[in-house]
Amino acid sequence: MFTGIVEATGEVTALDLRGGDVRLRIRANSLDLSKIQLGDSIATNGVCLTVASLLEDGYESDVSSETLSVTSVSSWHIGTKVNLERALTIDTRLGGHLVLGHVDGIGEVVHLNPDARSWCLRICAPNELAKYIAQKGSITVDGTSLTVNKVEGAEFELNIVPHTLEHTGIGSYQAGSLVNLEVDVIARYVERLLLGDSAANT
């Protein structure tokens, strides 16, 4: 589990195709890996990945065909910048919201325009996710916990403050960029609870 507060940015340095799966190598830059062990989880652009190998400057993870099919990982290449966050510990401050690292769908950046010292980011979500996105609610974009300012159908707007632009990969977005989206897990549980007894047949 994560908070959506990005700790560092990294870079894809290798993608090794292995029978339909991918072994991914990430240069972790300033992320502190001193307490990371094999099998630990690191959110990589919002995708919860298991550390399969530790390197001097980063880590390697295996990405399944399922993950490739539902995230933007399949469009990554050597040099792709990624947001990084280590998994929560019991004494971690929860500065964002509860994030599982389970991507719900891929969104597309519509535009990123300046708004005073911040930027206005507009994203189009898959239609099936629109019902989970609420004004002033939380959403995770490439592993970054953000607040939704406005919703219009399947499109939503976010205000990106200077600190977030500087410390995540959002500043490199442009129209057409694909991003990993994870909706607030509470919305999914509420939907399921509202089904009541009929949930067993759904």
Handedness of CA 182, 186, 187, 190 (dihedral sign): positive
Q: What is the model's pLDDT at position 63?
A: 96
List, for residues 78-126, the tens digit of each pLDDT value.
999 999 999 987 777 777 788 999 999 999 999 999 999 999 999 999 9
Q: What is the model's pLDDT at position 16?
A: 93
What are the domain boundaries of the chain? 8-86, 105-191
CB 100 within 8 A of CB 2: yes
Q: What is the model's pLDDT at position 67?
A: 94
Q: What is the model's pLDDT at position 199?
A: 79
- What distance in Å separates the CA atoms of residue 184 and residue 191, rounded to the nearest whole number? 12
Q: What six digits make up the tokens of 93?
A: 């401050």
CATH number of this structure's domain 8-86:
2.40.30.20
Q: What six digits make up the tokens of 20?
A: 């339909």
- What distance in Å separates the CA atoms of residue 15 and residue 67, rounded to the nearest whole number? 14
**∠ Cα 43 88 63 (to 5°):** 25
Query: Do the domains spanning 8-86 and 105-191 agree at the CATH topology level?
Result: yes
CB 108 within 8 A of CB 35: no
Q: What is the model's pLDDT at position 197?
A: 84
Residues of the chain with pLDDT under 70: none
Domain 105-191: which CATH class? mainly beta
CB 146 within 8 A of CB 157: no
Chain centroid offset of residue 128 CA: 18
- In what helix (H) or strand (E) does residue 119 lie, and over which residues does it extend? strand 118-124
Largest CA distance in the chain: 52
